[in-house]
Amino acid sequence: MKSLQPVFRALTDTESRAVLARHHVGRIAYSLHDRVDIEPVHYTYDGGWIFGRTSVGAKLATLAHRPWCAFEVDEVRGLFDWTSAVVKGSFHLLDPERGSADVFGRALELLSTLVPDTFTSHDPVPHRSILFGIHVDEISGRAASTSER
């Protein structure tokens, strides 16, 4: 009798980066008052950076002072059929007036491909007026699949 057995494996660096590039919603994790908080955000990935938008709040206040964070993206097709990429890196506020004009411009260009009205009068999330970048310092990934045994 054949049964399906899950097989788990580590993703290569290239595979992990491909997972990031395929998606636009992920979760940022950070430490706040000795607790870990996780929040979903929309993002783009380009050249070792994750770019997103946020608003003033606890996440921003925390990450402005403790920039180390994690970011995860999953593809879940079934209980034993999934792929996950995890980034560990540093959170950066992107401000064109504080020396990051090129990075800010690139982030805005990429985010506008997701939400074409970004930073216009028709922006669906105008309260998310702050651009950020997470530099990918470390990346890893895991995958699960089933095979007949």
Cβ atoms of 27 and 43 closer than 8 Å: no
Contact present, 49 and 136 (Cβ < 8 Å):
yes
Contact 104, 131 (CB under 8 A): yes
Task: State residue 3's pLDDT score.
Answer: 61
Residues spanned by the domain of 61: 4-148
Residue 36, domain CATH? 2.30.110.10
Q: What distance in Å separates the CA atoms of residue 13 and residue 143, rounded to the nearest whole number?
A: 13
What would the pLDDT profile of 70-115 be if each residue is shown by its tens digit?
999 999 999 999 999 999 999 998 887 777 778 888 888 888 888 7
pTM: 0.85
Number of domains in the chain: 1
Q: What are the E-state strand segments in the chain?
A: 4-10, 25-32, 35-46, 49-54, 68-78, 81-94, 130-148
Instruction: Name the burial class of residue 99, with classes exposed (0-12), middle (13-18) and buried (19+) by CB atoms within 10 angstroms of its CB.
Output: exposed
**pLDDT (tens digit per residue) in 7-22:** 999 999 999 999 999 9
Higher pLDDT, 3 or 113: 113
Q: Which of 4, 1, 9, 6 shows the shortest CA–CA distance to 142? A: 9
